[in-house]
Amino acid sequence: MSDFFQTGPELSNTYELDPILKELLSRKLPTDMLKTVEEDFKKFGNRLVSDVLAFSNDAESNPPYLVSHDPWGRRIDEIVTSNGWKELDKVSAEEGIVAIGYERKFGEYSRLIQFAKIFLFHPSSAYYSCPLAMTDGAAKLIEEYGDEELKTGAFVHLTTRNPSQFWTSGQWMTEKTGGSDVSNTETVARLENGQYRLYGVKWFTSATTSQMAMTLARIEDENGETIEGSRGLSLFYLELRDSEGKLQNIEIQRLKDKLGTKALPTAELQLKGVPAKLVGEIGSGVKTIATLFNVTRIYNACTTIGAWKRLMDLARDYAKKRSAFGNTLDKQPLHLKNLAHLEVQYQASFHLAMYVAELLGKDEVPSSETDKERVFKLLRFFTPIAKLYTAKNNMIATSELVESFGGAGYVEDTGIPKWLRDNQTLTIWEGTTNVLSLDVLRSIAKEDAFRHFADEVNEKLAKLENIKLKDSKQKVQLAFEKLCQHAVAMAKMPREEVEAKAREFAFSIGNVMSAILLLEHANESKTDRSLKVAQRFCESNLYTIQDFKKDDHEIIFG
């Protein structure tokens, strides 16, 4: 009998373990700022593999549950969460995960720094990143559309670093009638004695332990009539509990039994006259809440790359420890080839997500050199692209990375299978891949975003002077020319064809922009590894739009 026991994968300081993030920050940030940020990230990187990871593990092992009644039969609808979940709330406030974005003490770099911190936090947060995403989106919404009362009230709670004052927010958009198409929303808002009250069912509400929420409802006129479709929807702010901590005319029907994100309480709610406050204009609810979900979509991209990095780190460490067929996995060509491919894909997604975070910062705090219009349009254009591109590519990579642990990757208490379950949500919530591909078309039609993308590409390519990047640059240029041809051709294409190609279009844009960002990183950071990664990525097929086939329906249903 052998006394062999396999050593499992281990983590160390996750900031110290990240040369790509370090290189990016030193390329972007002024020296003094970099010093301040590095000090903070080094400390945080340690916490993420010690106390914060322990809170996360506690929250994952003790999922929330609903207590609907007290021992004497009174309805209480209390969601019980673990100690770890509560501690993660405190950590989030103390570390300023949302606050950094609104203190803006790093000027145009505030969002880049904030999202770098979220990227580090997410894989040790048991999805506390989800309420934080909605909290940030709600803060942004109040900043843009809120009145004085919200700005001096809720906004201060959402953006504080004081754990005892900190609030999180929900974003209740989904109803039984539709998650993607919210125009079918059935919740109504009635004006009763000068106060709006909401009646309806919210079918998928994440982090229902939050203090407040932003939600959509259809205002009833004095005859009880409403306007149909999304033009009839308005946005409302509500607080879940009264001053005594009792839910305000909200019943929690049940918690969802989801595939993953087990620590995160997600509920079905019945609204029975919840007092609510109108935010923005009547009938502009979808447009107004877009401010919120455009922020959560950037969270989605940055947390996705955080999750991807964590699994890469574990797989990398395991490859050095696991032997098979006479050698450790890190010496086996096929295993190496797989991991190298995933690392290149990861770095492409990493740069795309961080690029969008940087755009958000530049949009909010423009410097004298910022081309404000271009930044605004690029942000609108790349937000759905970064979300769909990172989430889908990560999901494909997750399957490979889980497999790279062999049978151990299929066993729950190694902690590996959870990534497969959790990462799947990142392609679904905040807009599925298809819905976001169509949103890219919306941004082109409404904002003329493609023209600004083309200017950005040409400007960035012109700055690549390293001769070793010449061939890669040419490949990107070729793919980009094809993309431009497609964008022009779309004007005359039947809508059916434009929509059928929307996903390949979005991924091709994602490929081209990621390639450019990798080349830029190689050009500026000047490390051999970044040069090789950029060259390798550019060898892949960047333009992936296929010919339109009219027989899809027949193939599926015929």
Considering the complex, what minimum distance in angstroms separates the CB of residue 222 from ligand MFK?
25
The separation between CA 408 and the C-alpha centre of its own chain, rounded to angstroms, equals 28
How many positions of this chain bind ligand MFK (CB under 6 A)? 28
Considering the complex, what minimum distance in angstroms separates the CB of residue 219 from ligand MFK?
16
Distance between CA 181 and CA 179 in Å, rounded? 6
Considering the complex, what minimum distance in angstroms separates the CB of residue 301 from ligand MFK?
9
Q: Is 171 in the site for ligand MFK (CB under 6 A)?
A: yes
Amino acid symbol at 444: I
Contact (CB, 8 A) for 172 and 215: yes
Nearest to 200 by CA among 216, 214, 188: 188
Per-residue mark of binding to ligand MFK, 229-268 (x: CB under 6 A)? -x--------------------------------------
Restricting to residues 383-402, name those near ligand MFK by CB under 6 A: none
Choose between 433 and 535: whose C-beta lies nearer to ligand MFK: 433
Per-residue mark of binding to ligand MFK, 70-109 (x: CB under 6 A)? ----------------------------------------
Considering the complex, what minimum distance in angstroms separates the CB of residue 129 from ligand MFK?
4
Q: Is 173 in the site for ligand MFK (CB under 6 A)?
A: yes
Choose between 56 and 206: whose C-beta lies nearer to ligand MFK: 206
Q: Is 184 in the site for ligand MFK (CB under 6 A)?
A: no
Which residue of 56, 210, 215, 296 would you call a contact of ligand MFK, by CB under 6 A? 296
Query: Of 234-242, 285-293, 353-361, 488-496, which part binds ligand MFK (CB under 6 A)?
Result: 285-293
Distance between CA 532 and CA 538 in Å, rounded? 10
Q: Is 136 in the site for ligand MFK (CB under 6 A)?
A: no
Considering the complex, what minimum distance in angstroms separates the CB of residue 349 from ligand MFK?
15
Choose between 377 and 486: whose C-beta lies nearer to ligand MFK: 377
Query: Of 92-100, 242-250, 294-302, 497-505, which part binds ligand MFK (CB under 6 A)?
Result: 294-302
Distance between CA 31 and CA 41 in Å, rounded? 15
Q: Three-state DSSP class for 345? A: helix
Choose between 235 and 533: whose C-beta lies nearer to ligand MFK: 235
| SS3 of 26-82 | HHHCCHHHHHHHHHHHHHHHHHCCCHHHHHHHHHHHCCCEEEEECCCCCEEEEEECC
Distance between CA 76 and CA 68 in Å, rounded? 5
Based on its alpha-carbon atoms, the radius of gyration of the chain, rounded to whole angstroms, reads 24
Q: Is 175 in the site for ligand MFK (CB under 6 A)?
A: no
Considering the complex, what minimum distance in angstroms separates the CB of residue 442 from ligand MFK?
6
Distance between CA 214 and CA 135 in Å, rounded? 10
Distance between CA 524 and CA 513 in Å, rounded? 16
Restricting to residues 425-484, name those near ligand MFK by CB under 6 A: 429-431, 435, 439, 442, 446
Contact (CB, 8 A) for 430 and 387: yes
The pair phi, psi for residue 214, each rounded to 5°, is -110, 135
Considering the complex, what minimum distance in angstroms separates the CB of residue 247 from ligand MFK?
20
* 105-110, Cβ contacts within 8 angstroms, sequence gap of 24 or more: 106/29, 106/33, 106/37, 107/361, 107/365, 107/367, 108/361, 108/362, 108/364, 108/365, 108/366, 108/367, 108/370, 109/28, 109/29, 109/33, 109/358, 109/361, 110/361, 110/364, 110/365
Which residue of 116, 139, 247, 290 would you call a contact of ligand MFK, by CB under 6 A? 290
Q: Is 48 in the site for ligand MFK (CB under 6 A)?
A: no
Q: Is 287 in the site for ligand MFK (CB under 6 A)?
A: yes
Nearest to 100 by CA among 114, 79, 118: 114
Question: Can you give the binding site for ligand MFK, defined by CB under 6 A?
Answer: 129-130, 133-134, 171, 173-174, 180, 182-183, 206, 230, 286-287, 290, 293-294, 296, 299-300, 303, 429-431, 435, 439, 442, 446
